[in-house]
Chain A
Amino acid sequence: QKEVEQNSGPLSVPEGAIASLNCTYSDRGSQSFFWYRQYSGKSPELIMSIYSNGDKEDGRFTAQLNKASQYVSLLIRDSQPSDSATYLCAAEYTDKLIFGTGTRLQVFP
């Protein structure tokens, strides 16, 4: 059974802080990883993808991948209340995505 695991949270951080979201995956064959943001009652939207070991930065977001440890993370710098949402980690497996249950992030003013 291919699995992606995330802490369900909630993760509460003050406005302006760094939010760190983590994810582990079970299938060493997975090569592509994704972070989606989902606001309550809305569909998921892609915010980051990462394919190689190391860091990938896009604005306030940094994705980190460690294939040896089967670990993916997402850092959100200068967190804003508008970042409050559920963040879904996903791993690709033969052109299908396996999703974690999501981590709920709360950014308080």
Chain B
Amino acid sequence: NAGVTQTPKFRILKIGQSMTLQCTQDMNHNYMYWYRQDPGMGLKLIYYSVGAGITDKGEVPNGYNVSRSTTEDFPLRLELAAPSQTSVYFCASLGVDYGYTFGSGTRLTVV
């Protein structure tokens, strides 16, 4: 039982490039989330999904897109990367006890 798996763990992008952060969970959770965490800051919600085919914006959605074609996968797409998107990105899913299970994170640097 792997839980929530994120890839890649690290990535350096040039300004204007695009990439997709992958997130997969094997717990059959309907609710999934993408957060970003800047140094010394808490977690800010980017997008979330309550089930396959349903997504919605969080606090800081600009510059990002998501899709949810299956229960397991919730990829986050960055279009036209900007230095302000340098951050650590966490994917999470919500279990029945309302506790989030987090992935190990993706550390992204935009130069």
Contact = CB atoms under 8 A, between A and B. Distances in A.
B29 to A, nearest CB: 11
B103 A43 contact: yes
Contacts of A8: 40
B99 A49 contact: yes
A25 interface: no
A97 B99 CA distance: 10
A101 B40 contact: yes
Interface string B37-75: 000111111001010000000100000000000000000
Interface in A72-109: 88, 92, 95-102
A46 interface: yes
A43 B94 CA distance: 15
B42 A101 contact: yes
A54 interface: no
Interface residues of A, number: 21
A44 interface: yes
Given A8-B40, A44-B43, A34 B99 contact: yes
Interface residues of B, number: 23
A61 to B, nearest CB: 14
A44 B50 contact: no
Contacts of A96: 33, 45, 48, 58
Contacts of B42: 4, 88, 99-102
A46 B97 CA distance: 11
Contact of B100 (A42, A97, A100, A102): A97
15 contacts: A4-B42, A8-B40, A36-B100, A44-B90, A49-B98, A95-B31, A95-B50, A96-B33, A96-B45, A97-B43, A97-B45, A99-B43, A100-B42, A101-B41, A101-B42
Given A34-B99, A96-B33, 17 more contacts: A4-B42, A34-B98, A43-B102, A43-B104, A44-B90, A44-B102, A45-B102, A49-B99, A95-B94, A96-B45, A96-B48, A97-B43, A97-B45, A98-B45, A99-B35, A99-B42, A101-B40
Which A-B residue pairs are the 4 nearest by beta carbons?
Answer: A43-B102, A99-B42, A101-B42, A99-B43
